[in-house]
Amino acid sequence: METLLIGDAAGVRTITINRPDAMNAVDERVTSELQDALKQTERDRFIRCLVLTGAGRAFCAGQDLKSVQERTAEGQPIDFAETLRRRYNPIILKLRTVEIPVIASINGVAAGAGWSLALACDLRIASRAAKFVSAFTKIGLVPDSGMTLTLPRVVGLSKALEIAWLGDALSAEESHRLGLVNWLVEPEELASRTMELARRLAGSAPRGLGLTKRAMNAGILNPLEEQLNYEADLQGIAGRTQDHREGVAAFIEKRAAEFKGE
Ligand code: T3D
């Protein structure tokens, strides 16, 4: 794997997104390798708990906007509906359906689809240095990768709209208060506290845990696949706008975006 580090210890598999210079932003390689790594994890009956984390100071900054801009500059229009269905949606579905506990160990910023990835995990333990940014609205897009389903179910509709529309960063403390994070720990304790939790889950009855996850998800997430498709349709529309291209350009040029509603 070029973009992931994978390690196993005592029945716990840790997958680390390893593009620290790009804040672990997700390009084609990351999504492809994550899909493979999750399939392998699901097949390995000795793995009883999965931890997802990021290398360096970020958990994951979402879609790699530099690769988006490169492709757009080369005149290759990106069909976001297609890329979501092919690249992101299978990862979200697998995280929610693999019948072992999946823990997001959030070491730093989680933005855009990076936050959606964390929300798709079963449990979240975060460093006090973490923060959460919806990011989509700032580049003229719609929250995707399950966020429109997972976020309002935890914080309520109005708070979810506030978070998505205003795009302000949520601190680790605020996220913990809102129930978006299960445990908040000091940065230097994150790895050890994550492993303590993961080992405890890995030592529990795997079938019972797996079926509990299946039952809980059935209780609240039955329409997940439908919602993922719906998000992909909407992203297909938003991804074709001039405002989206302007948002990406403004981010890369480090200036305020000028949106024209086109
Ligand atoms: O199908 C599809 O493709 C559509 C799917 C879309 C899914 C999405 O995820 S859309 C949302 C994409 N993500 C974002 O919009 C987040 C953009 N990044 C940020 O808002 C900020 O960088 C952060 C809040 C994540 C962190 O802020 P800060 O101040 O701690 O760091 P920084 O200085 O902004 O970034 C540090 C470096 O990482 C910088 O590179 P440089 O200038 O040192 O060369 C920055 O460009 C780079 N970086 C951060 N995020 C991304 C990124 N490079 C590429 N893509 C990124 N998403």
Give 16-52 pLDDT, tens digit per residue: 999 999 999 999 999 999 999 999 999 999 999 999 9
Ligand 1 atom nearest to 57, measured from its CA: 30
**Which residue is it, tokens 């690769």?**
67
219 Cβ contact partners less than 8 Å away, ≥ 6 residues apart: none
Backbone angles phi, psi at 185, to 5 degrees: -135, 165
Q: What is the pLDDT of residue 175?
A: 98
* Distance between CA atoms of residues 173 and 85, nearest Å: 33
164 Cβ inside 6 Å of ligand 1: no
- Which of 137, 125, 121 minimizes the C-alpha distance to 172? 125
206-221 vs 89-97: helix crossing angle, rounded to 10: 130
185 Cβ inside 6 Å of ligand 1: no
22 Cβ inside 6 Å of ligand 1: yes
Mutate to test the pocket of ligand 1, among 23, 166, 253 (most ligand atoms within 8 A of CB): 23
106 alpha carbon – ligand 1 mean position (Å): 16
Token output for 44: 């390995």
Amino acid letter, 51: V
* Distance between CA atoms of residues 57 and 157, nearest Å: 30
Give 205-243 pLDDT, tens digit per residue: 888 999 889 888 888 876 788 888 888 888 898 899 899
Closest-CA residue, ligand 1 atom 28, reads 109
| More confident position, 32 or 74 | 32
Percent of the chain with pLDDT strictly greater than 70: 100
Is residue 71 predicted with pLDDT exceeding 90? no
Q: What is the pLDDT of residue 222?
A: 67
Closest-CA residue, ligand 1 atom 56, reads 64
Give 93-137 pLDDT, tens digit per residue: 999 999 999 999 999 999 999 999 999 999 999 999 999 999 999
90 Cβ contact partners less than 8 Å away, ≥ 6 residues apart: 35
Give 1-12 pLDDT, tens digit per residue: 999 999 999 999
Could you give the residue ranges of the DSSP H alpha helices within 167-241?
A: 172-177, 190-202, 206-221, 224-238
Backbone angles phi, psi at 51, to 5 degrees: -115, 130
* Distance between CA atoms of residues 123 and 101, nearest Å: 8
DSSP per-residue codes, 5-61: EEEEETTEEEEEE--GGGTT-B-HHHHHHHHHHHHHHHH-TT--EEEEEESTTEEE-
Is residue 53 predicted with pLDDT exceeding 90? yes
* Distance between CA atoms of residues 217 and 219, nearest Å: 5
Q: What is the pLDDT of residue 226?
A: 85
